[in-house]
Amino acid sequence: MTESLAKTAGPRASLAIFGGTFDPIHHGHLRTAIEIKEALGVDELALLPSHRPPLRGEPGADSLQRLAMVSAAVAQEPGLVVDGRELLRETPSYTVDTLRELRAERGSNISITVTMGSDAFNKLHRWRDWQALFSLANVLVLHRADYPLGMDVQVAEFVAGRRLGSASALTARSAGGFYDLGLIQLPISATDIRRRLASGRSIRYLVPDVVADYIAEHGLYTQ
Ligand SMILES: Nc1ncnc2c1ncn2[C@@H]1O[C@H](COP(=O)(O)OP(=O)(O)OP(=O)(O)O)[C@@H](O)[C@H]1O
Ligand SMILES: O=C(O)c1ccc[n+]([C@@H]2O[C@H](COP(=O)([O-])O)[C@@H](O)[C@H]2O)c1
């Protein structure tokens, strides 16, 4: 299927994806997922736990455990769904592969927006086939408090002509648009949660109770 997609304005079905290692999923991710869904006005926001994250070491919890925690966390949240497709591939979880699969399934007309925090976006120039992401989807970047937007010069040039005036303008296009969004950011990170658990401290109110219970039952992140 061709990667040059129609970019005409107009109402269309829409989907946003929010990928991550989710090691573990926390309230920073969940609050952000809701903000993304509202800002874009999408029909559906899918969280995509990565199986083998390309630019980082082995996660502390295995893929099925991370998938189970994400699924439990969103079970009560209408409009948020989990997409476990990256666990079905043995290759590193390249976003471009995921988007190609989604396009093949959903067709060229649906609006797809891939979303990521500024920490992830600042490394975009190291992603597999990163320019192709913009042929397959729109890109929405969320400012994270500790990570000012500091994109690579090549990426900056590439997105300059693609910047739209609002997040919701992305959903009127099938692909190719870019927007960076300032939103309420909870200063929570999975790294900090893993450190707390390793030193026997509480993680209550940083993650949903179902996730804290799962971690305790499976003895995760104790070292
Ligand atoms: N508190 C937060 N607020 C908004 N976005 C977040 C937050 N934490 C993570 N993200 C975003 O969620 C996506 C997945 O992040 P990831 O699973 O790596 O979580 P993390 O908390 O950054 O993990 P780690 O500390 O292990 O790097 C990334 O795009 C990241 O920028
Ligand atoms: O496609 C790539 O090359 C690529 C490189 C690094 C990260 N990603 C994706 O970006 C998302 C956030 O990654 P991380 O490591 O910050 O959790 C997750 O969905 C990864 O699969 C994708």
Can you tell me which atom of ligand 1 is nearest the CA of 186?
A: 1
Name which of 115, 107, 112, 34 is nearest 73 in CA terms: 34
What percent of the chain shows pLDDT beyond 70?
95
- pLDDT for 176 equals 97
Nearest CA to ligand 2 atom 13: 20
What's the whole-number mean pLDDT along residues 71-100? Answer: 94
Cis peptide before 53 (omega within 30 of 0): no
CA of residue 11 to ligand 1 center, whole Å: 30
Give whole-number Cα distances, 198 to 187, 202, 203, 215, 220, in Å.
Answer: 19, 10, 11, 12, 9
- pLDDT for 9 equals 52
Pocket of ligand 1 (CB under 6 A): 20-23, 28-29, 32, 116-117, 119-120, 142, 144, 185-186, 188-191
Does the pLDDT value for residue 3 go beyond 50? no
| pLDDT tens digits for range 135-146 | 999 999 998 777
Domain ranges of the chain: 14-186
- pLDDT for 56 equals 86
Q: Which ligand is nearest to the CA of 183?
A: 1
Give CA–CA dist 163/220, Å, rounded: 41
- DSSP assignment of 129-175, as one string? THHHHHHH-EEEEE-BTTB-----HHHHHHHHTTB-SSSGGGGGSSS
ipTM: 0.96
Q: Which residue has the tokens 């999408």?
A: 42
Name which of 33, 47, 16, 1 is nearest 170 in CA terms: 16
- pLDDT for 136 equals 98
Q: Please report which confidence band the pLDDT of residue 10 belongs to, taking 50, 70 and 90 as the band edges.
A: low
Q: Say what the alpha-carbon torsion angle 74, 80, 81, 86 is, to the nearest 10 degrees.
A: -90
| pLDDT tens digits for range 49-82 | 999 888 888 999 999 999 999 999 999 898 899 9
CA of residue 59 to ligand 2 center, whole Å: 13
Angle between helices 209-218 and 63-74 (to 10 degrees): 150
Does the pLDDT value for residue 107 go beyond 90? yes
Can you tell me which atom of ligand 1 is nearest the CA of 119?
A: 31
Radius of gyration of the chain (CA): 17
Nearest CA to ligand 2 atom 12: 20
Q: What is the architecture of the domain spanning 14-186?
A: 3-Layer(aba) Sandwich (3.40)
